[in-house]
Amino acid sequence: MWFSAYRVDRLFLWSLLFGAAAGAYYDIFRIIRIARKPRGDGWKSRRFLRYGDAVLCFAGDILYWLTLAAAYCVFIYDAADGRLRIASLIAVAGGFLVWFFTLGRLVAAAADRIIYAVRLILKAVFRVTVVPAAKALRFLFTRTAGAFRAIRTAIYSVLAVRLEKRRAARGYGLLRK
């Protein structure tokens, strides 16, 4: 299919925006890495990453690239009728680099504040949802524990009586047939 100059320009601008969005998405993973960083001297205090940190870092990279590749395929299918154009790839890389070296630096500088705000929000959500549910379940289980114990005792006593009758009928294992 033939592309007009308008469609090429539009594809280029949308590709720049896609690259900037990819940079913003990368900053999410960057903040997660910063949050996983140990307190104190930071990465310089340890020569090697712990195994779990390395696995999480690798899994995050794989997740980032897989989702970005899938999103780019959908983007190209929609914006360029499924035809890969080098100008689009260059524009995506350019948009990513512009984001990374401008707003990405601001996000990285404010990462500690962002992490603190997210932790506060998660603690508030935890206090509003999980803590009341746990208290309600504890109340429910403590109030119904006596009823469950009574039911269990009744079932065990019925079963014990049946077992005792069966053993008595057999002579407690002393009688041979």
* pLDDT (tens digit per residue) in 41-82: 555 545 555 666 778 888 889 999 999 999 999 999 988 888
Higher-confidence position of 89 and 161: 89
In a domain, 147, yes or no: no
In a domain, 102, yes or no: yes
Which distant-in-sequence residues (6+ apart) come within 8 Å of 10 by Cβ? 79
In a domain, 116, yes or no: no
Q: What is the pTM of this model?
A: 0.64
Whose tokens are 């870092």? That residue is 57
The secondary structure of residue 171, as a DSSP letter, is G
Higher-confidence position of 163 and 175: 163
In a domain, 92, yes or no: yes
Q: Residue 31 corresponds to which tokens in the numbers above?
A: 């903040």
CB 24 within 8 A of CB 100: no
What does the pLDDT look like over 51-62, one tens digit per residue?
A: 667 788 888 899
In a domain, 74, yes or no: yes
Q: How confident is the model at residue 38 (pLDDT cuts 50, 70, 90)?
A: low
CA-wise closest residue to 95 among 157, 13, 23, 20 = 20
Q: Is the pLDDT of residue 177 over 70?
A: no
In a domain, 60, yes or no: yes
CB 93 within 8 A of CB 26: no
Angle, alpha carbons 29-33-36 (nearest 5°): 140
Domain that holds residue 26: 5-109
Whose tokens are 């999980």? That residue is 130
Q: Classify residue 162 by burial, with Cβ atoms within 10 Å: 0-12, 13-18, 19+.
A: exposed
In a domain, 124, yes or no: no
Whose tokens are 């989702």? That residue is 67
Looking at residue 48, its pLDDT comes to 52
Phi, psi of 16 (to 5 degrees): -60, -45
Total domain count, the chain: 1
Q: What's the mean pLDDT when you consider all of the chain?
A: 84
Distance CA(145)–CA(149), nearest Å, equals 6
CB 112 within 8 A of CB 30: no
In a domain, 34, yes or no: yes
Q: Is the pLDDT of residue 175 over 70?
A: no
